Chain A
C-alpha cells in the first residue's frame, strides 16, 4: 500500500484515530478543476445542442428533445460556444496532467481496474444491489469502485476524442472514422456525456452515503478511520 497512515491522538485523551493519506494533491486538484470544467462543458454543451436539437438532417428537421434554457449555459449559441471552447482546454489540460501524474508517480495502481479485480466485482454488486454480504474492504477502492473510476476515465478520453472529431472534422478526419463518420461523432459526443452524467449520479449518491470523512479526503487527502484499515 503506498499511502501513509497516522495514528492521531486527541489532547488529554487516550483515544486514537487512524488517518490515511489517500489522495495526493495533484489528484485532488485535478478532481475539483475537472468537476467545474465538466459542469461548464455540460451546461454549454446543452446550449450548443439547443441550436439544433437533432441528430438527423436539417431538412426535414426532427427534434430529439427541447432542452430547457434554464439548464443551459451561455444564453445563446455563440455564448455556449465561448464557454465550451474555453473550458475544453482546461478539461484537456487537467486530464493530461492527471494521466501523467498517475503514470509517473505509480499512484495509478490505486484506481486502475486490472484483471485481478474482476473476481471482486460481483460480490460488490451483490452487496449493493441484491442485499448480499458485505465484502471485506482491503484497499482504498474496492473492485467495483475501480471499475467505475477506470471507466469514467475512459469516457473522459472519449469525450475529448469525439469532441475533436466534431470540432476539426477536416484536420482530424481520421478520428471520426472509428466512430462511423463525422455525422456519428456528434452522437458519440452526446452519448458519452450522458454516460459521464450517469456515473456522476452514482458517484454523488455514494459520496452522500459514505459521509463526511470520505468527502473530506478529496479535500485534504486524509481519510479518518477508513474501514479498510484493521485497528
Chain B
C-alpha cells in the first residue's frame, strides 16, 4: 500500500524511528572508565547468581571408566606460587574452627577413618584445559557431620600451606562428590598435587579446589572469598 507524503513529514518520521534506538547508547556506559569495573562486577555477580540457581544438590558430575582416566604423568600441576610449600607431613593436621561443635586439630588418620570414596572425574581449569583424573578421599559432608558442623552455615573457608585461600558454598560442600582428597590414582597425594590433603570438587572450576589444606572454617561471613576471586574471578564458578 503506497501513501503519498511530503519530505518534511518523511524526515520527521525517520528521525523518530532513529530515536527509538537511543537505548542502545546505554551500552556506552561500559566505555566510561569510572563505570566499567562496577558494571562488569555486576555482570559477574549476575552470572554467579544464575550459577547458584542452576546448581542441583543431587545432580552428579559425569564419572568415567578407568580407561578414560589420563595417565598420572599428564595430570597438570598448577600453582599460583610454589609446587611444594614444604609441609611437614609427619606433624601435619587440619585446624577446624567456626560453627562446629568439635573444633580443634584433626590428623590425617582421623580423616581417613571416615568412609573412603574413589571417583574418576573431570578437572576443569579456568584457563581452558581439562583432564580426567582418579581421586580418593572422604566426603566433605561426612567430615562436616563428624565434627558436628552447623550445616545451615553459608560457607566453608579453607587456608593452605602456600598462603592460598578459598571458600565454597555449603550446598557444594555437602554435594556427594565433594571430597577431602588424600589420594590420586590410588596413591597418597604427592607434594605437587597438594599433599597431604586437598579439595576435589567436580562441580566447581579448578581454582576452587585448593591444595595443601591446613585450616578449615565453617562460617557465615567471608572476610576474603578466595585468592583468585579477590582479584576478579567468579566467586561461585559452579560447573
Contact = CB atoms under 8 A, between A and B. Distances in A.
A58 B125 contact: yes
Nearest to B15: A220
Contact of A7 (B5, B8, B76): B5
Contacts of A88: 47
B203 interface: yes
Nearest to B11: A8
B133 to A, nearest CB: 12
Q: Is the interface of B mostly helix, strand, loop or mixed?
A: mixed
Given A85-B47, A220-B18, A182 B130 contact: yes
Nearest to A171: B54
Interface residues of B, number: 58
Interface in A71-113: 77-79, 81-83, 85-90
Given A8-B5, A25-B20, A86-B39, 9 more contacts: A7-B3, A57-B131, A77-B126, A86-B42, A89-B47, A169-B122, A171-B56, A182-B130, A183-B130
Nearest to A7: B4
Contacts of B131: 57-58
Judged by DSSP, the binding face of A is: helix
B128 A82 contact: no
Interface in B207-239: 228, 231-234, 238-239
A167 B6 CA distance: 54
A48 B3 CA distance: 53
A118 interface: no
Contact of B55 (A49, A57, A78, A171): A171
A221 interface: yes
A139 interface: no
A81 B128 contact: no
B43 interface: yes
Contact of B54 (A5, A18, A168): A168
Contacts of A89: 43, 46-47
A58 B132 CA distance: 12
B3 A4 contact: yes
A81 B129 CA distance: 15
A32 to B, nearest CB: 5
A57 B21 contact: no
A170 B234 contact: no
A133 B15 CA distance: 37
A176 to B, nearest CB: 9
Contacts of B62: 169-170, 173, 182
Contacts of A124: none
Contact of B40 (A52, A83, A183): A83
B7 A182 contact: no
Interface residues of A, number: 54
A82 B2 contact: no
B124 to A, nearest CB: 6
8 contacts: A5-B1, A7-B3, A85-B43, A90-B27, A170-B59, A171-B55, A182-B122, A219-B17
A59 B130 contact: no
B17 A222 contact: yes
A7 B2 contact: yes
Nearest to B51: A168
Contacts of A221: 14, 17
B107 interface: no
A61 B14 CA distance: 55
A170 B27 contact: no
Contact of A29 (B20, B41, B44, B124): B20
Interface in A131-189: 167-171, 173, 182-183, 186
A228 interface: no
A206 interface: no
Contacts of B70: 57
A6 B129 contact: no
Contacts of B10: 6, 8, 19, 222
A51 B43 contact: no
Nearest to B2: A5
Contact of A25 (B21, B75, B202): B21
Contacts of A191: none
A189 to B, nearest CB: 10
Given A25-B20, A28-B21, A222-B14, A77 B127 contact: yes
